[in-house]
Structure 1
Amino acid sequence: MQNLIQIILSTPWLLWPALVGVSLCVGSFLNVVILRLPRMMEQAWRQECEALLEHDRRSEPAHETSNTGNASTDNDREQARFYGLSYPRSHCPECGNTIRAIDNIPVISWLLLRGRCRHCGTGISARYPVIEALTAVLSVLTVLILGANAEALVTLPLVWALVALTAIDLDTTLLPDSITLPLLWAGLVVSALGLGQVGLEAAFWGAVAGYLSLWSVYHLFRLLTGKEGMGHGDFKLLGALGSWLGWTMLPAIILLSSLVGAVVGIAMIAIRGHDRNIPIPFGPYLAAAGVIALWYGPELLDLWLSMMRV
C-alpha cells in the first residue's frame, strides 16, 4: 500500500484524477453527514427524554399513571422513524423513491438530471453538488499548496471534517462532538506518528491551549454579562485545530476568525437587520481560519511575530 501511494504521488496523471474522484465521493458522503447527523442527534435526545419520562411514569402511583397503553405504539412509531448514516438508502423526500447509483454520481448526476428527481421532477437543492465540488477544490488546493507528499494527504481528513462542521453549524448552530472530539484525537495521533505538520509536544499544547482559550473567554463573558457568548463546540473545534497545527498557530486562527466574524456580523446587522440577540455561528469562521493556517502557516506565523515586534 505504501509503495502504491508513492507511485501515485510521483505520477501527476494518476494523482490529480484520483484526488478529484476520491474527494468528490467524500463530498457526497459529507452531504449525508450534514443532513443526517443533526437529525440523529435530535433522535437520540428524544429517546433519552422519552426514557426519562417513562421512568418517571413507572415511579408514579398506579392511579396517577395515564396513557400507558400507548407506550408501545409510540415506541413503534419512533423505531419506524429511526435512521443513521447508512440507513435508509438515499431517497427523494417528495416521492420516496430510492436514488439509484447512476443518479448518485457526484456533481455529474445533478447536472444530467438538471437538478430534479428522475421520478417526480421535484427540484434537488444545488447545495449537494456545491458541497461535493467545494470538497474537491479544497482537497486539490491543499495538495497543491503543501506539495504532493504523504503529509498533505494525511491532512485531507481535517479539511473534509471542517467542510462538514461548517455546513452543520450554519444549519443548526451545533458542532457535533462526534466530529470535533475524534478530530482532536486524530491530530494528536497523526503528530505522534510523525506525519503531521507539527510534533507531538506542539500538538498536545495546541489542543490544550486551543480548548482553554475559548473556554476562558466563554466563562469570563458569562460572568460579566450573564449570557453565553458561544457554544461549547467552539472550544473543541479550536482544540482540534491546535492538535493538528500546533499552539503557535492559535493566535493567527483566533485573530483571523474573530476579524471575519466581526465584519460579517456587523454587515448582517447593518444590511439585513439581523437581530443581535440571535446567535451567529462562529464555527465556520474558525474552520476557514484553520484551512488558511494549514495552507500558509509559516507565512502567518512570520506575520504574527512581526506584528508582535511592532
Structure 2
Amino acid sequence: MLQLSPWAWILAAGVLGLLVGSFLNVVILRLPERMKAEWRRDAYDTLDMADDGQPLPPGIVREPSHCPHCKHPLAARDNIPVFGWLLLGGRCRYCKAPISIQYPLVELLGGLLSAAVVWKFGPTWPALAGLVFTWMLIALSGIDFRTQYLPDQLNFPLLWLGLLLSLLPMFVMPQAAILGAAIGYLSLWSVYWLFKLLTGKEGMGYGDFKLLAALGAWMGPGALLPVILLSSLIGALTGGSLILMRKHAREIPMPFGPFIAAAGWTWFMAGDWLWQHYAQLTGMR
C-alpha cells in the first residue's frame, strides 16, 4: 500500500503524528516539573543543606499515564489519541474531573503537521528530519505556553541536530548553519539587552535566543529575518485579539517561543513559496 500511493505515506505520517502527539503531551506536562525538582535539589546541594525529602515528579518514559487529579492509571482505550478524550467526554473515567483540551489539541496538531511534512518531502530522509523538527517545536511551544520556559533539554538537541544535518548537507551547507545559529542567537540577544537598557525590563528570555539559533542552524541566516517578522506579526495579532476579547491583561507577559516556533515551521515548510509570492507582489527580481 505504501509503495502504491503517496497518500498512504501521508496517512501513515498523520497516524504516527497523533501517537507522538500523545507522548508530547507527557513531555509538555512532566518535563518542567522534573526540571524544577532537579533545580531545587541542586540548590540544596550548592547551599550544603539537607534535601527537603520530596520525591521527584514522574519521569517522562517509565511512569504510566494517569489522571492528574485522582492519580488513577489510565486504561489503554483512554490513551487513544483524540478519540480517547472524545469518548470520555473530556472527563476522567474514574473521578469525573475535567481533562484539559490541551491533550487532543496537541495530538491533532502533531498528526496534521506530520502529515504536512511528508506531503511536502515524501518518504525521504529530509521528511524524517522534518518530523523530528516539527515534534520538538510542538513540545517547546507547549512548554513555553504553559510555563514560559524553553528548556535547554530540547533547545540544544534541536540546535545540534540542525548543525549535524548540515554536514550531509540536508537543508543548508555547514557555513550557513553555523552563521544562522550565531546570528540567530546574537540578534535576539542584542534586542534583549537594548530593551533592558532602555526600559529596565526584560522583554524576552534566553530560551528565545536559543530557539532562534536552532532555527538558524536548520535553515541558515537567510531565514532569520522572515522568521522574526512572521513571529512578531503572529504575536501581535494573537496578543491583540486576546486583549480585545479581555482574555489577557496588557501587563501580563506572553510567551514568545510559540510564535517563533510557528513562524519557523511555516518558513521551513513554505519559505520558498512565500518569498516567491512576496517578490511578485513587490516587483522584486
Q: Deviations over 1:21-76 (max 9, x none)?
A: 211111011000000011011111211222234x2x6xxxxxxxxxxxxx57x32x
Cα contact 2:77–2:84 (8 A) shared by 1? yes
Matched, 1:253 2:247: no
Cα contact 1:212–1:235 (8 A) shared by 2? yes
Residue 83 (structure 1) aligns with: 58
Pick which of 260-269 and 42-51 moved more. 260-269
Cα contact 2:167–2:174 (8 A) shared by 1? yes
Matched, 1:200 2:155: no
Residue 195 (structure 2) aligns with: 221
Question: How far is 1:176 from its partner?
Answer: 0.7
Quick one: structure 1 residues 174 and 97, their matched pair in 2 at CA, closer, same or farther if it must change by over 3 Å? Answer: same
Unaligned runs of 5+ in 2: none
Q: Residues of 2 paired with 1:110 and 1:276: CA distance?
A: 33
Q: Residues of 2 paired with 1:9 and 1:190: CA distance?
A: 27
- Count residues with an aligned counterpart: 284
Quick one: structure 1 residues 262 and 9, their matched pair in 2 at CA, closer, same or farther if it must change by over 3 Å? Answer: farther
Matched, 1:157 2:151: no
Quick one: structure 1 residues 10 and 188, their matched pair in 2 at CA, closer, same or farther if it must change by over 3 Å? Answer: farther
Cα contact 2:223–2:267 (8 A) shared by 1? yes
Residue 103 (structure 1) aligns with: 78
Cα contact 1:252–1:301 (8 A) shared by 2? no
Runs of 4+ residues deviating >6 angstroms: none
Q: Residues of 2 paired with 1:199 and 1:226: CA distance?
A: 39
Unaligned runs of 5+ in 1: 1-6, 58-70
Question: How far is 1:112 from its partner?
Answer: 2.6
Q: Residues of 1 paired with 2:248 and 2:77: CA distance?
A: 42
Matched, 1:178 2:172: no
- RMSD of the alignment, in Å? 2.4
Q: Normalising by structure 2, what TM-score?
A: 0.90
Question: How far is 1:271 from its partner?
Answer: 4.1
Residue 17 (structure 2) aligns with: 23
Cα contact 1:9–1:148 (8 A) shared by 2? no
Question: How far is 1:251 from its partner?
Answer: 1.0
Amino acid at match of 1:24: L
Cα contact 2:33–2:57 (8 A) shared by 1? no
Question: How far is 1:274 from its partner?
Answer: 4.2
Question: How far is 1:93 from its partner?
Answer: 2.4
Quick one: structure 1 residues 129 and 245, their matched pair in 2 at CA, closer, same or farther if it must change by over 3 Å? Answer: same
Taking only the aligned residue pairs, the percentage that are identical comes to: 48
Cα contact 2:156–2:210 (8 A) shared by 1? yes
Pick which of 201-210 and 292-301 moved more. 292-301
Name the structure with the higher helix share.
1
Question: How far is 1:91 from its partner?
Answer: 1.1
Which residue, out of 31, 40, 45, partners 1:37? 31
Secondary structure of 2:166's counterpart equals: helix
Matched, 1:51 2:45: yes
Question: How far is 1:8 from its partner?
Answer: 4.4
Question: How far is 1:13 from its partner?
Answer: 5.8
Quick one: structure 1 residues 239 and 177, their matched pair in 2 at CA, closer, same or farther if it must change by over 3 Å? Answer: same
Cα contact 1:165–1:283 (8 A) shared by 2? yes
Q: Residues of 2 paired with 1:251 and 1:8: CA distance?
A: 38
Cα contact 1:24–1:106 (8 A) shared by 2? yes
Secondary structure of 2:262's counterpart equals: helix
Quick one: structure 1 residues 303 and 246, their matched pair in 2 at CA, closer, same or farther if it must change by over 3 Å? Answer: farther
Cα contact 1:252–1:300 (8 A) shared by 2? no
Quick one: structure 1 residues 244 and 10, their matched pair in 2 at CA, closer, same or farther if it must change by over 3 Å? Answer: farther
Q: Residues of 1 paired with 2:176 and 2:233: CA distance?
A: 25
Question: How far is 1:191 from its partner?
Answer: 1.7
Matched, 1:236 2:230: no
